[in-house]
Amino acid sequence: MTNSRLTYREAVREALREALARDKRVFLMGEDVNRYGGAYACSLGLPAEFGDERVRDAPLSESAFVGAGIGAALGGMRPIVEIMTINFSLLALDQIVNSAATLRHMSGGQFSVPIVIRMATGAGRQLAAQHSHSLEGWYGHIPGIRVLAPATVADARRMLWPALEDPDPVIIMEHATLYNDEDELPADGDMSVDITKAATRRQGSDVTVIAHSACVKKALNAAEMLVGEGIDCEVIDLRILRPLDDETIIASVRKTHRAVVVDEAWRSGSLAAEISSRITEQAFYDLDAPVERVCGAEVPIPYPKHLEQAALPQPQSIAAAVRKAMRR
């Protein structure tokens, strides 16, 4: 089997191409997905292959085109709706929360909403306070939807198809700083991937570091920094933000007896808070230290680089939290 080297962006594009080619019901809809090629160039070239109907530019009407995606899903299609950034998805929250997430339960199980909504999330590109937030924890709060956060090129390539096969709404969070990441992937073969389990990205015995999306890389960097200090970190990539894979998290904490949760989002009411709480509920007597959290500073993300970086979890701050958990 040959390998090919591709970026996260190309991985998303290949996943879109595969989905559009495999199933006639699939179409991509969103702002600037066609002529422009996608705000992050994920759909560049796809209109030529699949046409304007199936790679469909939408007006700046997040609520209407996300709602139309939900309606199209109810009507037998398999829409992929792209929202330019997670901040803009707030304009479509009504449709996501009040319709997509509720319809199955509220109708007594009569309706499925097989929609996939992709959005760019996160800070690190100096885009300031209306393009840089990490609100995926809000979506993780909502029953009735599945939330995926591919942190690797492989997951960016492989998560879309199983997401489309899920009869329920799936939101895929693509971190804006990951699009240029590169990795080797098998060029062919089975592309399917489990979208129910977290992944252990680094085996370790001293402390469990739990992260998702762009923070996984930072956690791995921190782990390497700590090797020289004799600290062996296990790094878990959540991958699925809802429903959370408690089993993988708790099994690791039972092994290492220490946990550090890393989350780019604001600390208060965060996904990190939820994970910390679950560890305390399910593995309290296995813990040798309090659960540590490394979160984004509670400010609107500022524009200048030094302030933006200071607002985000960094390998240094993760390493510091690990040392604290280790009482070093």
Partner 1 sequence: MRNIADDRVHLTREHAVELLRQMTRVRRFEEKCAELYTQEKIRGFLHLYIGEEANAVGVISTLTGDEAIVATYREHGHALVRGLPMNEVMAEMFGKAVGSSRGRGGSMHIFSAHHRFFGGNAIVAGGLPLAVGLALADKMLGIERATCCFFGEGAAAEGEFHESLNLAALWHLPVLFVCENNFYAMGTALARSQSNPSISARAAVYGIASEAVDGMNVVDVEAAARRAVHAVRRGEGPRFIETKTYRFRAHSMFDPDLYREKAEIETWKKRDPMVLFADWALSAALLNLDDREAIEADVAQEIEAAVAFAEAADFEPVEDLMKDVVSPPSEYIR
Taking the complex as a whole, the smallest distance from the CB of residue 112 to partner 1 amounts, in Å, to 6
Tokens of 45: 């070239």
93 binds partner 1 (CB under 8 A): no
User: In 3-state terms, what secondary structure has residue 232?
Assistant: coil
243 binds partner 1 (CB under 8 A): yes
Taking the complex as a whole, the smallest distance from the CB of residue 273 to partner 1 amounts, in Å, to 15
Nearest 10 degrees: Cα torsion 66, 72, 77, 83: -10
Which among 113, 213, 100 has a CA at the least distance from the CA of 166? Answer: 113
Figure out which of the listed residues 22, 45, 106, 224 binds partner 1, where binding follows CB under 8 A.
106
Separation of alpha carbons 83 and 228, rounded Å: 42
Q: Based on CB atoms, which residue is closest to partner 1, 57 or 183?
A: 57
104 binds partner 1 (CB under 8 A): yes
Tokens of 322: 């690990």
Separation of alpha carbons 87 and 306, rounded Å: 22
125 binds partner 1 (CB under 8 A): no
286 binds partner 1 (CB under 8 A): no
Taking the complex as a whole, the smallest distance from the CB of residue 34 to partner 1 amounts, in Å, to 13
Q: Is 62 a catalytic residue?
A: yes
Q: Based on CB atoms, which residue is closest to partner 1, 65 or 266?
A: 65
287 binds partner 1 (CB under 8 A): no
User: In 3-state terms, what secondary structure has residue 113?
Assistant: coil
Taking the complex as a whole, the smallest distance from the CB of residue 98 to partner 1 amounts, in Å, to 5
- Inter-CA distances, 141 with 62, 136, 243, 273, Å: 21, 9, 9, 12
Contacts of 189-192 with CB under 8 Å at 24 or more apart are 189/1, 191/18, 191/157, 191/158, 191/161, 192/158, 192/161, 192/162
> What values do phi and psi take at 6, rounded to 5?
-145, 160
Figure out which of the listed residues 67, 302, 313, 315 binds partner 1, where binding follows CB under 8 A.
67
- The residue from 31, 62, 82, 136 that is catalytic is 62
Token look-up 């996608």 returns 38
Q: Is 141 a catalytic residue?
A: no
Taking the complex as a whole, the smallest distance from the CB of residue 35 to partner 1 amounts, in Å, to 15
Binding site for partner 1 (CB under 8 A): 27, 53, 58-59, 61, 63-77, 79, 94-95, 98-99, 103-112, 143-144, 146, 166-168, 196, 242-244, 246, 278
List residues with catalytic annotation: 62, 131
